[in-house]
Amino acid sequence: MANLVTTLRFLLLFLLVWMAYQAPPLVQLANAPLVALIFALDGLDGYIARRRGEESLFGAIFDIAVDRVVENVLWVVLADLDLVPVWVPIVFLTRGILVDSLRSQGAARGETPFGMMQTRIGRFLVAGRFMRLSYGVIKGVTFGWILFLQPWPALAPSLWAQWSAPLGLASQVLYVLAVVLCLLRGLPVLVEVAVHEAFRSRPGREAAP
């Protein structure tokens, strides 16, 4: 059931992308609530997995993979629509590729992505519920806010001309904060997993029985 919810998030993402490009401005007002639904379902699939005892390595990897698709697709779409600068998706894509590549080493040994973190600060930043929730909320608010603003230049040109500067500044603050959290949560993975793999590969070191 949890994996079905994750799959639903995946499908809703592409409905959102279609609306961002093709829907009339008035219909695009539904984009922000749709973003909220997609991110709310991210929390629901984890809750269902824990409640129904459906937690698994596949489920954890599938959930993170869909998370990555959602955020990367939305950042690329926003950059393509000229709603955020192109360096923002570049940061997220680079961080995601590096982190997921390192995590694949642990997955090959049956370790969950969050279970790979060994230090207290690493577990707090990467696996801790507070940081995971905060990061998800910031991304959801950022995507929702920017997509909420998208149709207003067409719906109310004079009002937009008056308020575009402060509203645009709010968008900048949000996506910069999202980038900062992205890097803060990615760095411990790069450091810990790289060090762990280097330690495992030391000459003469034998695998623990």
Over the stretch 104-160, which tens digit does the pLDDT of each residue have?
665 555 555 555 666 777 777 777 788 888 888 999 999 999 999 999 999 999 999
Quote the pLDDT of residue 208: 43
Categorize the per-residue pLDDT at 206 as very low, low, confident or very high, splitting at 50, 70 and 90: very low
Q: Which of 85 and 201 is assigned the larger pLDDT? A: 85
Domain at 2-200, CATH from 1.10.1060, 1.20.120, 1.10.3470, 3.30.70: 1.20.120
- Given a cut of 70, whether residue 75 has pLDDT beyond it is yes
Q: Are 10 and 66 in contact (CB under 8 A)?
A: yes
pTM score, two decimals?
0.80
Categorize the per-residue pLDDT at 209 as very low, low, confident or very high, splitting at 50, 70 and 90: very low
Distance from C-alpha of 127 to C-alpha of 187, rounded to nearest angstrom: 13
Over the stretch 19-66, which tens digit does the pLDDT of each residue have?
999 999 999 999 999 999 998 887 776 656 666 665 665 666 777 788
Residue type for position 88: V
Q: Which of 150, 139, 125 is nearest to 36 (CA)?
A: 139
Q: Are 145 and 173 in contact (CB under 8 A)?
A: no
C-alpha dist (Å) from residue 172 to 16, 36, 85: 22, 19, 9
Lowest mean pLDDT among 26-40, 84-98, 100-114, 167-181: 100-114
Q: Which two tokens stand for residue 63?
A: 């959930």
Q: Which of 149, 150, 142, 146 is nearest to 179 (CA)?
A: 142
Quote the pLDDT of residue 198: 59
Categorize the per-residue pLDDT at 196 as very low, low, confident or very high, splitting at 50, 70 and 90: low
Distance from C-alpha of 108 to C-alpha of 122, rounded to nearest angstrom: 21
Lowest mean pLDDT among 19-28, 159-168, 180-189: 180-189
Q: Are 188 and 119 in contact (CB under 8 A)?
A: yes
Average pLDDT over residues 87-110: 78
Average pLDDT over residues 86-110: 79
Quote the pLDDT of residue 147: 96
Tokens 């969950």, residue? 112
